[in-house]
A and B are shown apart, each in its own frame.
Chain A
Amino acid sequence: MATKAFQKIYTKIIQINKATCSLNAIGVGNDELATVNGKLAQVVKIMGDEVTLQVFEGTEGIPTNAEVIFLGKAPSLKVSDQLAGRFFNSFGDPIDGGPEVEGEEREIGGPSVNPVRREQPSELIATGIAGIDLNNTLVSGQKIPFFADPDQPYNQVMANVALRAKTDKIILGGMGLTNDDYLYFKNVFNNAGVLDRIVSFVNTTENPPVERLLIPEMALTAAEYFAVDKNEKVLVLLTDMTSYADALAIVSNRMDQIPSKDSMPGSLYSDLAKIYEKAVQFPAGGSITIIAVTTLSGGDITHAIPDNTGYITEGQLFLRRDSDVGKVIVDPFRSLSRLKQLVIGIKTREDHPQVMNAAVRLFADAANAKTKLENGFDLTDYDERTLAFAKDYSTKLLAIDVNIDTTNMLDVTWGLLHKHFKPAEVNIKQELVDKYWK
């Protein structure tokens, strides 16, 4: 951070703990940035002339005579078309060796959209993955996380979704990414030749955890620039929001706040909502869609992080390994896209809602048959057929390596229904059966 001339330099720190330091200073604004011996910090508390600064890197090595310079502004990002194709750290500084971005400086964490100025989301986002497009269709302006255990390939699925979705810009916000995952994203985007429409803000596990608190708002400030100023369709990928929430817990703990459920700060819901609610369809055509990752601990969705997330987002996507076919599938039972009703059968073929429900219902029958089998009960002919159907359905549609268009997905489903069942067994409206049964 370059310092300007004639700025007042404070050199007397009166209190230091793990995350914050305090000093006497006047004329300081709330949320303002400062540097403490060159380390970036932000004002979190002002009491009379005592100012408390949260040092993003941590306070290791900060002496009581450290030089503190207030920068007179809240965290901000310079926005312009030059952002495209670039990689930045949590502070919006380039980490790809390229030049500084020139553009208008905007404070991050800006105001929220007036709800009466929002458009109702109505545009389908196709990903080619049937577990998503067929059963849990995404809509632009939606916010939805993957709930996944750490060993599942959520970053790969997300990268695929990003590349296949027809969007103008993809903004990656990486929080606590391992260096390997960071390089994976970089390579995938590079190899696909789409770097010019991607902007990345990355905090890896090598960076201090508190820094990652800035990542989502950096990413969303860039997203708002493209969606509002340029009317573009922007897809924001946030991985992993659990690391973000963990960083919130660290800060709140060091600031002596009383923790609520699962040691998370009491404001967790509002903190997460502030980020996710940036997903919006603007009336002028631009949109921000957020796909996030929330890693679970042992699949527990009652933990405060996934629980609060579920109350905020418009559905969730679950990945699961289907041991019968040896593939990772998008779990049709626990996954849900709340906005799919706005597009299925409207933007897709008329039979979509019914075919989707029929297949999931039969998949559920297969799960019951499997339980029966495991408990040593005899299977009926119908049970056997549902099990055979489930294997086909998992392999040809639910598996995450499937890449076909929605109409094709519907045709494949009809094919499977025909192969394993009689029309009377699928509970689909007669006129649709007459038209599509094959």
Chain B
Amino acid sequence: MSTKGKVKGIISNLVTVEVDGPVAQNEIAYIELGSQKLMAEVLKVIGDKAFVQVFESTRGLKVGNNVEFMGHMLEVTLGPGLLSRNYDGLQNDLDKLTGVFLQRGEYNYPLDTEKLWDFKPIAKAGDKVEAGLWLGEVDENHQPHKIMVPFKLEGTFTVKSIVPEGEHKILDVIAVLLDSEGKEIEVTMVQKWPVKKAITVHTEKPRPFKLLETGVRTIDTANPIVEGGTGFIPGPFGTGKTVLQHAISKQAEADIVIIAACGERANEVVEIFVEFPELEDPHTGRKLMERTIIIANTSNMPVASREASVYTAMTISEYYRAMGLRVLMMADSTSRWAQALREMSNRMEELPGQDAFPMDLSAIIATFYSRAGYVYLKNGQTGSITFIGTVSPAGGNLKEPVTEGTKKAARCFYALEQARADRKRYPAVNPIDSYSKYIEYPEFEEYISKRISPDWTSKVNDMKTILQRGKEVQEQINILGDDGVPVDYHVTFWKSEVIDFVILQQDAFDKVDSVTPIERQEYMLNMVMDICRTDFEFNNFVDVMDYFKRIINVCKQMNYSVFHSDDFEKYVGELNVILEERKI
């Protein structure tokens, strides 16, 4: 018998329910409202009163309405067929909802139960298995989708039987396991998992070290993120957060991309819906949508399911990581999620922390970020979740609780800057304030020396030094005037401008420039650093500016040309001629 209850009080979407039996924290309940049932989650229990947050509008709800508790927490359904789908925060398939408007209380099954999948067994009868180990696989959009021993099973099991290769529906029994007492457990291709609990079917979580190529130079070259790494992008509105995030999700060298559009503009999600089925994955040539799952909970959709949406996305990411895949998860924006927490905490009359956010905000953020990572699976394979979240700081002020809480948790920081955006220097990532902690990892250093070259990190550090020096010189020039400083100062400043224009700035809307493979980034960095190390002869500062503007122009043309094409080589030639003019 499940626990039942009756509505006792309503404040917006916080509903008090008097219950007749046991309830668990975070348990899911359905509240009857006419013919509809509204999904809700338990947030607090006092005596026989459970406080639940309803994931929908509570308009028309009355005292005395019936409530039924489900005996489980908010769960997602995991199985083949998740890829290419557009879900809401509660994993309802948006494409299956028929009307133009989202109707309250409309829920559906997130997977296709009729589709036949070509199942290939991996395990065989007699094998000893445990949670997360692979029993078989199906082909999902050209990727091996592993059918695993359900994560909920504890202990060791023996495979009693497994179906031979053949076509099966997701709910067909594909294997029977025996537990230590000889009890039979039937396994299908589908399993459920509560979103707030991390899936930990791995043996070890080492420090991540493998470069995750994004094709964005200001990330890969200057502040690289790694497979299984975490990063965040704070920035005031209009600085290009979403464009940068879209660029990363389009280009990154990941097997699976999961995008949680959390409390942001609906038209931005529409852009993904329109573009991703058309655009090609630069690494495989297949359509981007084939490797993508979108969790859309836009700003006008129910606030309470914003929180659910990021957890849903993370749980699906963990599911794919357990198959040994490289998952990239993006959440835009985690500030909206934090605001949803704030609204609820306020309604529950909790004592507020800074800016009225809940006291445990930074702990919640840290726990969430810690679910990302690079792991060794039980069968020795590896998998990863790289997580990048955006933050929308109120008033562009980075000293607010969400930014500060995230800064403690994420290892890469890509600070979008208003001043850079105003000057149309995109991506507007401030090269000096931003950082990647991974650059300091010896594991990363070792990896990158082999992947690119042994002196790569020192070159990158030299580049940053020049940028820093350029900034200092620029400030002096601003105070003392163009002719108030030695000509050398102008040279230093313009060398830093070459780095800015050629390496850091990148045209996200140009077919060639938008994606730069790491080999090409190496070539460009070497070329630019050679220019920076060269001494030039100048008599006055006007010549410096004109000369370096010509260099920048030629280098930019190279960025717009296909690598090593005739055009590209032509510009290399032009550049060398220009450099010869004033080289000492």
Contacts and interface: CB of A to CB of B under 8 A. Distances in A.
A46 B9 contact: yes
Contacts of A336: 238
B355 A30 contact: no
Nearest to B395: A302
Given A302-B395, A310-B237, A339 B16 contact: no
A47 interface: yes
A111 B355 contact: no
A311 B392 contact: yes
Contacts of A120: 267, 270-271, 274
Nearest to B273: A116
Given A118-B267, A302-B396, A266 B343 contact: yes
Contacts of A107: 59
Interface residues of A, number: 62
Contacts of A49: 63
A260 B301 contact: no
B396 A47 contact: no
A277 B263 CA distance: 11
Interface stretch (A61-69, A267-275, A399-407): A267-275
Interface in A334-361: 336, 339, 341
B342 A277 contact: no
Contact of A270 (B94, B299, B394): B299
Given A114-B100, A260-B342, A266-B343, A28 B266 contact: no
B408 interface: no
A39 B374 CA distance: 62
A30 B396 contact: no
A30 B61 contact: yes
Nearest to A256: B349
Contacts of B296: 115-116
Nearest to B86: A116
Indicate the member of A109, A119, A266, A280 with the most B CB atoms within 10 Å: A266
A121 B267 contact: yes
Contact of B339 (A32, A117, A269): A269
Contacts of A30: 10, 58-62
Nearest to A47: B9
Contacts of B8: 47-48
A6 interface: no
A102 B186 CA distance: 61
Contacts of A261: 355, 394-395
A31 B342 CA distance: 22
A45 to B, nearest CB: 5
B11 interface: yes
Given A74-B60, A270-B343, A307-B394, A260 B102 contact: no
A142 B270 CA distance: 13
Contact of B269 (A27, A115, A282, A339): A115
Contact of B102 (A48, A114, A119, A307): A114
Contact of A116 (B94, B340, B356, B481): B94
Given A266-B356, A282-B100, A314 B267 contact: yes
B336 interface: yes
Contacts of B62: 27-30, 46
A182 to B, nearest CB: 29
B97 interface: yes
A369 to B, nearest CB: 14
A186 to B, nearest CB: 31
A92 B79 CA distance: 50
A183 interface: no
A309 B494 CA distance: 38
Interface string B255-298: 00000000101110111011000000000000000000000101
B355 A260 contact: yes
Given A29-B61, A111-B101, A260-B355, A277 B299 contact: yes
Contacts of B451: none
Contacts of A118: 266-267, 270
A141 interface: yes
A270 B338 CA distance: 12
Given A115-B266, A116-B86, A260-B355, A267 B300 contact: no
B422 interface: yes
Given A111-B101, A116-B95, A141 B267 contact: yes
A1 interface: no
B395 A303 contact: yes
Indicate the member of A44, A47, A116 with the most B CB atoms within 10 Å: A116
A428 interface: no
Nearest to A336: B238
A192 interface: no
Contact of A115 (B59, B60, B61, B273): B273
A80 B12 CA distance: 30
Given A28-B63, A49-B63, A302-B395, A114 B298 contact: no
B95 A274 contact: no
A307 B237 CA distance: 8
B303 A280 contact: no
A257 B481 CA distance: 53
B328 to A, nearest CB: 21
Given A269-B339, A273-B299, A339-B267, A257 B346 contact: yes
A438 B274 CA distance: 39
A26 B63 contact: yes
B299 A269 contact: yes
A111 B10 contact: no
Interface string B68-101: 0000000000000000001000000011010111
Given A29-B61, A31-B60, A32-B60, A115 B339 contact: no
B397 interface: yes
Interface string A6-29: 000000000000000000001111
A47 B94 CA distance: 35
A29 B237 contact: no
Contacts of A308: 394
B422 to A, nearest CB: 7
Nearest to B8: A48
B352 interface: yes
Contacts of B236: 310
Nearest to A52: B11
Contacts of B340: 270
Contacts of A341: 509
A48 B396 contact: no
Contacts of B509: 341
Contact of B270 (A28, A44, A115, A310): A115
Interface string A242-256: 000000000000000
Interface in A261-300: 261, 266-267, 269-270, 273-274, 277-278, 280, 282-283
Contacts of B265: 277, 312, 314
A21 B271 CA distance: 46
Interface string A74-113: 1000000000000000000000000000000001011111
Contacts of B397: 302
B3 interface: no
A228 B104 CA distance: 19
A221 B532 CA distance: 61
Given A114-B100, A261-B395, A277-B300, 11 more contacts: A28-B62, A28-B63, A45-B10, A48-B63, A74-B60, A109-B59, A118-B266, A120-B267, A120-B274, A270-B299, A304-B394
Shortest Cβ-Cβ A-B pairs, 7 listed = A277-B300, A273-B299, A302-B395, A310-B237, A47-B9, A31-B59, A112-B300
Interface of B: 8-12, 16, 57-64, 86, 94-95, 97, 99-104, 236-238, 263, 265-267, 269-271, 273-274, 296, 298-301, 303, 336, 339-340, 342-343, 346, 352, 355-357, 392, 394-397, 422, 481, 509
30 contacts: A27-B62, A29-B60, A29-B61, A29-B62, A45-B9, A46-B62, A49-B63, A109-B59, A111-B103, A114-B94, A115-B266, A115-B296, A118-B270, A119-B270, A120-B267, A120-B271, A258-B356, A261-B355, A266-B342, A267-B339, A269-B263, A270-B339, A274-B300, A283-B100, A307-B395, A307-B396, A308-B394, A312-B265, A315-B238, A339-B267
